[in-house]
């Protein structure tokens, strides 16, 4: 229930839905605090036993209170209710699933990682949200977390004149100061935080970011952080991924309170003591009417005093330490040994020196002390150090170069200590990056010695639930895995004062979270998914194709039209077949501006290309096109290419399949690393021109329709290139074909691309032709036996393709030394073949392996692989390209093709890989 | 990781493509023995410690020889492959 006069958030009323019921909260509430304010204690259920679960924490470590939010398509799954701010129109449902199991296992890892899998139930999915935007930030000092230590560190670095960036995962700066009733310099601590934040925000050299959690740290001070902009799944842009480059950083991520394990320890109403105080001070909510506290340290006693001040009845404090007293409040020196109640806690059983008794209570605050948050400091693999005085694992100094931990994140648990440590740690970083330490001291605040009795496990029969969302108790897990834990090599560097291995194991099992860095704490980890797709490149004709109703698909980085639909065509296959027939019988136009074009110039350009290519490029005449092969140094085929010689010292390389980035890298390597002394300059000109291929028997008619001065086969022979103009605009013509048809490529400046495309499309239509898309282009090249990137895959040699004689072994070139090796020229290698489906047998799988039809099928009897298949409208049957052992000697063999993924199979006959125009006469005209 | 491109200054590693050992600079003669070519095409894995390897900075098209230490992850220096003499 809400307590009058309590709470530090000041928003207006907010309406939301939870499990089908409408509730009201206050702006600034989390879903968990708003539900507690409405008296809702059950926020989830365990998967198999369906035991009710309540919220246990008030932060990122919450694993009980997980919800799915939104409805329909706009949904987010497995969201943490303890950190989700409520908003108008929020629709949340508890999940009954093992969706939280990842967090669960991470809590008790490595132990739980090996625990039996729980059966998935409804909604057992992870919330993979797209990172919708990326950004970079640079700073001198990155302060991670803005609690007492972080604020002082930020102030120190800012006063020193450093460029400071402060990030905090919460919705407000202040950390624990927001949730406790302490004082800093006679001011309420949360007000001190507020005024410090205002002071920092007023400084020009300080930037501050809320709701930004640092996920990882990489070499040379690069930090990845995710900023949450919106929670509502109806808003598309909800997260930004930041990469922050910092000269130094102060890690002030605080610590996590650990529970104590005792029988039936996960009933709604049982909560961490610090969470209880958060709900009281920050949100003004009391989780019950009769409070009990079970703690092994002084700090938790504060919980009882705070609630007593707020008028809540304190039934008892249970503390294992002898002699501890708490004024009027009854203290039992013992432990909680059982609890009762289902949807909410009803009573607890306390066993103490004088016997056993039941105490009526509806909320129990538990504290087993604190564990520093190790997720960031553990990322470079440094083992944390055991600090005997705080009974916790703390980050070792120098765990991450350039980063210094401060405050609770390194085991300093009192407020003054944190403030002071913030100053000291910031100074350490400032010295490291060469700045002077400013004259600054920590303000006065509470100095509480941290006294703790190491009790984390109550030795009593009964299910001690080891983690949320699991119906697996500590006793069921522990004996089985203790040995494995002790054998964990990560423990070898950990020194403890514990008497024996068993104690260490117990401490690890029960001290949540465990000391294993990144596995341990995953701040909102499930809310972060794969990156949004990389930027897409569009063709000059993109808009025009879209306007024609073409479906646009991704081909590498490029968006290309799959086909240009006609009215009445009901399948993509029908559109593709029409386009293929159109090219074969009339004329087709297609945008090939995605094809890689590299400009090569310089006095040694011809020498360079002779070195890069397996054929002799230097003998090519000007205005002629030379088909060639490029090899990798290991003798495999890198790509085939058409090289146009524009001038003595000027060439253009047109790659068949390689992306422009890959081809540039390959050629730059040759130019800079292998032949640094040659006079040659390279430029990627892929995007500087728009190029359209015109293909089909009526190509000449179409080209002559659009260009200013007509051409013929003498002016522009096969594999010739020349300049021309269209309406006075300069263009280049090239007689190359990747379809098996008579074809001509027209290139213009990219500025005229779209205009020319529309012009060509109209002219083609007047000749019973039209535009063809990527689907038809793929069929046309398979019919002609031309390889695509997927057919080559970095393992094919020229010998495999039957084109080894094109290579000129009289000169040195990249790949020459290896391509001549006998094993790359062995007749037993898989060789390129064409495959024909049996008539009327249905489509072939997209890819697969080959066996002898009717023969054995085992890994040893695989005869080859099929890399491309399609329906050939020109041949009226299914065809494919593949690689068959001794393939060239096996034309006519009867084989079966099997897709290993789906098990689909189809009978195929091997044959020549060219299905259309065997002799290759058509393109010559 | 941050790599000092000899042309552009220090940039994030996502702008670079890794190629492998700088042995690639020492291409054997065309008629060199097979063993030498094998070593060149498939160089052995380097043990943790100082390495010289090749990185391509795509935005400016520079191949750089980067001196790193894989044991402590320090990036020590970089120079353009064109000027490297190893």
Q: What is the mean pLDDT of residues A89-102?
A: 65
* Among the listed residues A130, A115, A118, the one whose alpha carbon sits nearest the alpha carbon of residue A228: A130
Per-residue pLDDT band for A353 (boundaries 50, 70, 90) equals: confident
At A691-702, the pLDDT tens digits run: 999 999 999 999
- Same domain, yes or no, for A768 and A863? no
At residue A168, φ and ψ (nearest 5 deg) are -140, 140
- Same domain, yes or no, for A666 and A724? no
pLDDT at A476: 58
Lowest mean pLDDT among A49-58, A578-587, A627-636: A49-58
pLDDT at A449: 83
Minimum-distance CB partner of A243 among B12, B42, B63: B12
DSSP codes, A272-322: EHHHHHIIIIIT-B-S-SEEEEEESBSTTHHHHHHHHHTT-EEEEEE-SST
On the question of pLDDT at A775 being above 80, the answer is yes
| CB-CB under 8 Å, A243 with B75 | no
Lowest mean pLDDT among A316-325, A642-651, A664-673, A717-726: A316-325
CATH of the domain at A853: 2.40.30.110
- Same domain, yes or no, for A751 and A726? yes
Mutate to test the interface with B, among A138, A216, A217, A220 (most CBs of B within 10 A): A220
| CB-CB under 8 Å, A669 with B1 | no
Per-residue pLDDT band for A781 (boundaries 50, 70, 90) equals: very high
Where does residue A703 rank: exposed (0-12), middle (13-18), buried (19+ CB within 10 A)? buried
* CA distances for A485 relative to A15, A405, A465, A515, A664, angstroms: 47, 27, 19, 12, 51
- Same domain, yes or no, for A564 and A706? yes
Q: What is the mean pLDDT of residues A84-101?
A: 75
Q: What is the ipTM of this complex?
A: 0.97
Higher local confidence (pLDDT), A228 or A158? A158
Query: Strands (DSSP E) along A518-623, which ranges?
Result: 537-538, 552-555, 558-561, 588-591, 597-601
| CB-CB under 8 Å, A219 with B1 | yes
* CA distances for A140 relative to A160, A244, A403, A825, angstroms: 11, 10, 12, 58
Residue A883: in which H helix or E strand, if any? strand A877-885
On the question of pLDDT at A112 being above 50, the answer is no
- Same domain, yes or no, for A268 and A246? no
- Same domain, yes or no, for A213 and A277? no
At A18-61, the pLDDT tens digits run: 999 999 999 999 999 999 999 999 998 877 677 888 998 898 87
pLDDT at A550: 93
At A475-527, the pLDDT tens digits run: 555 554 544 544 444 444 443 333 343 444 444 443 333 333 223 333 333 34
On the question of pLDDT at B80 being above 80, the answer is yes
- Residue A4 tokens read as 């009058």
Residue A821: in which H helix or E strand, if any? none
CATH of the domain at A164: 3.50.50.60
CB-based contacts of B35, cutoff 8 Å, min separation 6:
none
In a domain, A795, yes or no: no
Distance CA A919, CA A630 (A): 24
- Cα A223 to the chain's mean position, in Å? 15
pLDDT at A192: 97
In a domain, A480, yes or no: no
Higher local confidence (pLDDT), A77 or A817? A817
Among candidate residues A392, A417, A432, the one where a domain is terminated: A432
CATH of the domain at A727: 3.30.1360.120
pLDDT at A82: 92
Distance CA A736, CA A722 (A): 12
pLDDT at A795: 87
In a domain, A19, yes or no: no
| CB-CB under 8 Å, A682 with B63 | no
A-chain CB neighbours of B32 within 8 Å are 817
- Residue A923 tokens read as 């393109």
**3-state secondary structure string, A213-270?**
EEEEEECCCEEEEEEECCCCCCCCCCEEEEEEEEEEEEECCCEEECCCECCCCCCCCE
Higher local confidence (pLDDT), A203 or A255? A203
- Same domain, yes or no, for A649 and A699? no
Q: A870 in helix, strand or coil?
A: strand
| CB-CB under 8 Å, B73 with A672 | no
Higher local confidence (pLDDT), A801 or A71? A801
Q: Is B80 part of the contact surface with chain A (CB cutoff 8 Å)? A: yes
Strand partners, A243: A136, A224
What rounded mean pLDDT belongs to chain A? Answer: 86
pLDDT at A40: 94
On the question of pLDDT at A830 being above 60, the answer is yes
In a domain, A884, yes or no: yes
Per-position b or e across A194-210, b if 16+ CB within 10 A of its CB: bebbeebeeeebbebbb
Among candidate residues A432, A451, A475, the one where a domain is terminated: A432
| CB-CB under 8 Å, A672 with B62 | yes
Q: What is the mean pLDDT of residues B17-46?
A: 91
In a domain, A490, yes or no: no
Q: Is A634 part of the contact surface with chain B (CB cutoff 8 Å)? A: yes
Question: What dihedral angle (degrees, nearest 10) is formed by the CA atoms of B49, B52, B53, B58?
Answer: 120
At A657-680, the pLDDT tens digits run: 888 999 999 999 999 999 999 999
- Same domain, yes or no, for A203 and A298? no
At A271-323, the pLDDT tens digits run: 999 999 999 999 999 999 999 999 988 877 889 999 999 999 999 999 998 88
In the block, residue with structure tokens 């740690």: A425
Higher local confidence (pLDDT), A68 or A102? A68
Is residue A844 within 8 Å of A908, Cβ to Cβ? yes
pLDDT at A448: 82
A-chain CB neighbours of B73 within 8 Å are 219, 380, 401
At A118-164, the pLDDT tens digits run: 333 333 333 445 556 788 999 999 999 999 999 999 999 999 999 99
pLDDT at A532: 41
In a domain, A673, yes or no: yes
**Maximum Cα–Cα distance for chain A, whole Å?**
112
On the question of pLDDT at A646 being above 70, the answer is yes
pLDDT at A74: 80
Alpha helices in B15-79, H assignment, sequence order? 34-41
In a domain, A68, yes or no: no
| CB-CB under 8 Å, A818 with B37 | yes
Higher local confidence (pLDDT), A384 or A498? A384
pLDDT at A125: 37
Q: Is B26 part of the contact surface with chain A (CB cutoff 8 Å)? A: no
Per-residue pLDDT band for A236 (boundaries 50, 70, 90) equals: confident
Higher local confidence (pLDDT), A824 or B4? B4
- Residue A568 tokens read as 């009445």
| Other CB atoms within 10 A of residue B57 CB | 21
Q: A175 in helix, strand or coil?
A: helix
- Same domain, yes or no, for A238 and A304? no
For B73, nearest residue in chain A (alpha carbons): A219
Per-residue pLDDT band for A72 (boundaries 50, 70, 90) equals: confident
pLDDT at A472: 56
Among candidate residues A684, A718, A740, the one where a domain is terminated: A684
CB-based contacts of A310, cutoff 8 Å, min separation 6:
A3, A6, A280, A286
- Same domain, yes or no, for A589 and A631? no
On the question of pLDDT at A351 being above 90, the answer is yes
- Residue A644 tokens read as 């146009």
Show the domains of chain B with their CATH numbers.
Answer: 2-80 (3.30.2270.10)
pLDDT at A130: 59
Range of the structural domain that residue A334 is part of: 258-369
**How many Cβ pairs within 8 Å bridge chains A and B?**
62
In a domain, A35, yes or no: no
Per-residue pLDDT band for A755 (boundaries 50, 70, 90) equals: very high
- Same domain, yes or no, for A220 and A282? no
pLDDT at B85: 61
- Same domain, yes or no, for A661 and A732? no
pLDDT at A703: 96
Number of folded domains that form chain A: 5
pLDDT at A45: 82
Going by the DSSP 8-state scheme, the letter that residue A629 receives in this structure is E
pLDDT at A418: 96
């Amino acid at each position: 229930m809400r307590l009058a006069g309590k709470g530090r958030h000041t928003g207006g009323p907010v309406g939301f839905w939870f499990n089908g019921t409408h509730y009201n909260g206050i702006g600034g509430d989390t879903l968990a605090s708003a539900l507690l304010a409405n008296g809702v204690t059950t926020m989830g259920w365990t998967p198999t036993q369906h035991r009710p679960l309540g919220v246990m924490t008030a932060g990122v470590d919450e694993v009980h209170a997980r919800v799915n939010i939104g409805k329909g398509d706009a949904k987010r799954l497995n969201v943490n209710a303890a950190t989700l701010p409520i908003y108008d129109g929020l629709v949340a449902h508890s999940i009954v699933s093992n969706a939280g199991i990842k967090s669960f296992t991470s809590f008790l890892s490595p132990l739980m990682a090996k625990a039996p899998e729980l059966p998935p139930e409804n909604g057992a999915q992870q919330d993979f949200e797209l990172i919708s935007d990326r950004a970079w930030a640079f700073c001198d000092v990155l302060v991670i977390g803005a609690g007492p230590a972080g604020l002082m560190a930020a102030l120190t670095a800012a006063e020193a004149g450093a460029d400071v960036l402060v990030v905090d995962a919460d919705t407000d700066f202040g950390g624990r100061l927001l949730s406790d009733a302490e004082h800093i310099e006679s001011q309420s601590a949360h007000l001190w935080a507020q005024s410090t934040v205002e002071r920092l925000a007023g400084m020009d050299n300080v930037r501050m970011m809320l709701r930004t959690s640092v996920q990882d740290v990489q070499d040379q001070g690069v930090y990845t952080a995710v900023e949450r902009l919106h929670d509502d799944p109806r808003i598309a842009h909800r997260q930004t991924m930041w990469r922050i480059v910092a000269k130094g950083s102060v890690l002030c991520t605080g610590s996590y309170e650990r529970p104590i394990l005792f029988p039936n320890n996960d009933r709604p109403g049982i909560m961490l003591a610090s969470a209880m105080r958060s709900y009281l001070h920050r949100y003004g909510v009391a989780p019950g009417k009769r409070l009990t506290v079970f703690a092994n340290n002084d700090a938790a006693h504060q919980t009882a005093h705070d609630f007593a001040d707020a008028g809540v009845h304190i039934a008892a404090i249970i503390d294992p330490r002898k002699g501890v007293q708490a004024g009027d409040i009854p203290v039992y020196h013992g432990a909680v040994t059982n609890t009762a109640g289902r949807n909410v806690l009803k009573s607890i059983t306390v066993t103490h020196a004088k016997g056993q008794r039941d105490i009526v209570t509806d909320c129990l605050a538990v504290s087993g002390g604190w564990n520093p948050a190790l997720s960031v400091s553990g990322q470079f693999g440094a083992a944390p150090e055991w600090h005997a005085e705080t009974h916790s694992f703390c980050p070792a100094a120098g765990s991450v170069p350039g980063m210094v931990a401060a405050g609770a994140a390194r085991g300093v648990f009192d407020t003054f200590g944190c403030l002071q440590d913030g100053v000291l740690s910031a100074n350490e970083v400032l010295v490291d990056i060469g700045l002077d330490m400013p004259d600054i001291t920590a303000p006065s605040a509470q100095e509480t010695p941290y006294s703790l009795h190491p009790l984390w496990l109550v030795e009593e029969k009964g299910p001690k639930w080891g983690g949320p969302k699991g119906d697996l108790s500590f006793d069921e897990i522990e004996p089985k895995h203790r040995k494995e834990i002790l054998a964990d090599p990560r423990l070898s560097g950990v020194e403890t004062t514990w008497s024996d291995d068993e104690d260490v194991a117990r401490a690890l099992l029960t001290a949540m979270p465990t000391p294993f860095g990144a596995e341990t704490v995953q701040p909102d980890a499930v809310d972060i998914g794969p990156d949004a797709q990389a930027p897409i490149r569009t063709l000059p004709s993109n808009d025009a194709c879209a306007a024609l109703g073409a479906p646009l698909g991704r081909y590498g980085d490029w968006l290309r039209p799959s086909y240009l639909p006609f009215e009445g065509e009901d399948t993509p296959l029908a559109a593709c077949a029409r386009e293929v027939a159109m090219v074969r019988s009339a004329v087709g136009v297609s945008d090939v501006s995605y094809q890689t074009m590299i400009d090569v110039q310089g006095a040694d350009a011809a020498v360079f290309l002779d070195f890069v290519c397996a054929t002799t490029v230097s003998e090519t005449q000007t205005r002629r096109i030379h088909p060639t092969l490029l090899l990798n140094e290991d003798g495999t085929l890198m790509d085939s290419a058409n090289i146009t010689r524009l001038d003595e010292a000027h060439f253009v390389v047109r790659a068949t399949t390689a992306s422009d980035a890959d081809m540039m890298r390959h050629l730059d390597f040759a130019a800079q690393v292998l032949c640094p002394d040659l006079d040659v300059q390279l430029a990627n000109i892929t995007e500087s021109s728009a190029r359209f291929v015109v293909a089909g028997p009526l190509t000449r008619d179409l080209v002559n329709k659009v260009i200013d001065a007509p051409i013929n086969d003498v002016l522009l022979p096969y594999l010739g290139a020349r300049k021309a103009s269209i309406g006075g605009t300069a263009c280049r013509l090239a007689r190359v074909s990747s379809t098996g048809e008579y074809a001509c490529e027209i290139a213009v400046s990219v500025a005229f691309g779209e205009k020319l495309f529309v012009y060509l499309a109209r002219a083609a239509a007047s000749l019973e032709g039209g535009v063809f898309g990527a689907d038809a282009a793929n069929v046309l090249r398979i019919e002609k036996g031309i390889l695509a990137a997927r057919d080559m895959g970095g393992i094919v040699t020229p010998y495999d393709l039957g084109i080894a004689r094109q290579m000129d072994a009289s000169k040195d070139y990249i790949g020459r030394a290896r391509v001549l090796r006998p094993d790359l020229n062995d007749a037993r290698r898989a060789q390129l073949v064409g495959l024909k489906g049996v008539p009327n047998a249905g489509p072939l799988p997209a890819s697969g392996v080959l066996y002898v039809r009717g023969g054995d099928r085992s890994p040893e009897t695989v005869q080859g692989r099929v890399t491309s298949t399609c329906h050939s409208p020109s041949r009226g049957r299914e065809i494919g390209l593949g690689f068959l052992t001794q393939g060239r000697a096996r034309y006519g063999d009867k084989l079966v093709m099997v897709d290993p993924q789906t098990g689909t199979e189809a009978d195929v006959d091997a044959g020549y890989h060219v299905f259309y125009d065997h002799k290759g006469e058509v393109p010559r005209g | 990781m941050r790599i000092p491109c000899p042309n552009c200054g220090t940039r994030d590693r996502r702008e670079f493509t890794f190629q492998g050992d700088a042995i690639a600079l020492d291409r054997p003669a065309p008629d060199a023995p097979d063993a030498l070519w094998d070593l060149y095409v498939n160089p052995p894995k380097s043990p943790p410690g100082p390495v010289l390897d090749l990185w391509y900075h795509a935005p400016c098209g520079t191949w750089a020889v980067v001196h790193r230490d894989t044991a402590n992850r320090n990036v020590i220096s970089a120079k353009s492959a064109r000027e490297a003499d190893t």
